Amino acid sequence: MTRKSNKSSAYIFQILIGILLIVMFFIDDFESHSTFDYIKLLFGLIIIGIGVFGLVKNKKREDESTKQE
């Protein structure tokens, strides 16, 4: 009995890390943001995008595999 490996938990973890980076950006005072803070915000948004794209891709792959069976 083999278990199909999917990366859904990894993509969910990426989304959570991205949300954490964005929340950390908004906790601080807005006047004291540096360029590094904006880079972290952009990185968080990119990570969320990759995570959502990966989840959608996994969902499509699972749907195609169930149709073939």
Asked if residues 32 and 69 have their Cβ atoms less than 8 Å apart, the reply is: no
Q: Name the burial class of residue 18, with classes exposed (0-12), middle (13-18) and buried (19+) by CB atoms within 10 angstroms of its CB.
A: buried
pLDDT at position 2 is 47
Please check whether residue 40 lies inside any domain of the structure.
yes
Count structural domains, the chain.
1
19 part of a folded domain: yes
Give the integer Cα–Cα distance in Å for 57 and 60.
5
pLDDT tens for 5-56 read 567 889 999 999 999 999 988 887 777 888 888 899 999 999 999 999 999 9
**Structural domain for 51, as ranges:** 8-63
Inside any domain, residue 53: yes
Flag whether 2 is in a domain.
no
- pLDDT score, position 19: 94
Within-domain flag for 68: no
Task: Give the global pTM.
Answer: 0.77
Task: Answer whether 41's CB lies under 8 Å from 25's CB.
Answer: yes
- Residue 69, pLDDT > 70, answer no
Residue 3 lies in a domain: no
